Amino acid sequence: MGKPCNLIFYSHKSIKMNSKSKNNNDGVMFSKVYKAALESKYHGVSVDDLLTVIYATPNAEIAMEMVLGIYEQPEIEQVVCSEKGVKYTFESYNVFDQEVRYSYSKNKSINIYVGKDVDKTQITHENYQEFRRSWNSNETESFDVVFPEMETIYTEMSLSAWEKCQKWQNSQVDTVEYCLED
């Protein structure tokens, strides 16, 4: 019949995952209501097996909501502005990790080492090779050379961080128009 379920049942309290998994489900408590809801929705199906599958996901709470048919995906703005005026474009949403994948454009750049005595205002994308040095902790320091070409960066942030950008943007309606323009 398969592996035994690694759940501990507390008849008067709740159901708790008893696992050493790395998926942050340790300590997630589900009330008897969830178990009853699963039993009523899935007649003849082993609730223990369903719970094992639910706990195998990166986010058991969201998995439980999905299995019960009550999950509601958050409303995510397609474009937001950061507090630094950078336009972030929504690419996708990872439901279980609750992370937003997004893109933004920035000037291409490279990091080089230059002499500590160099006037960095003189360094450009056209002449940076003249100033480039091998690293030496006593004689050089790091410097970013910015190029006129743009590149698109793809990265992730938590849903809560994306929502903070949305809130900040909504509170700054008059000042973020430049960011949202193409």
Tens-digit pLDDT profile for residues 85-142:
889 999 999 999 999 999 999 999 999 999 999 999 999 999 999 999 999 889 999 9
The Cα–Cα gap between 61 and 17 comes to 12
What whole-number percentage of the chain has pLDDT above 90? 52
10 Å CB burial of residue 153 (0-12, 13-18, 19+) is exposed
Asked whether the beta carbons of 77 and 91 are under 8 A apart, the reply is no
CA distance 89 to 93: 12
CB atoms near residue 18 (< 10 Å) = 12
Render the burial of 54-74: b for 16+ CB within 10 Å, e for the rest. Answer: bbebbbbbbbbbebeeeeeee
Provide the residue ranges of all domains of the chain, joining segments of one domain with +.
Answer: 7-68, 79-180
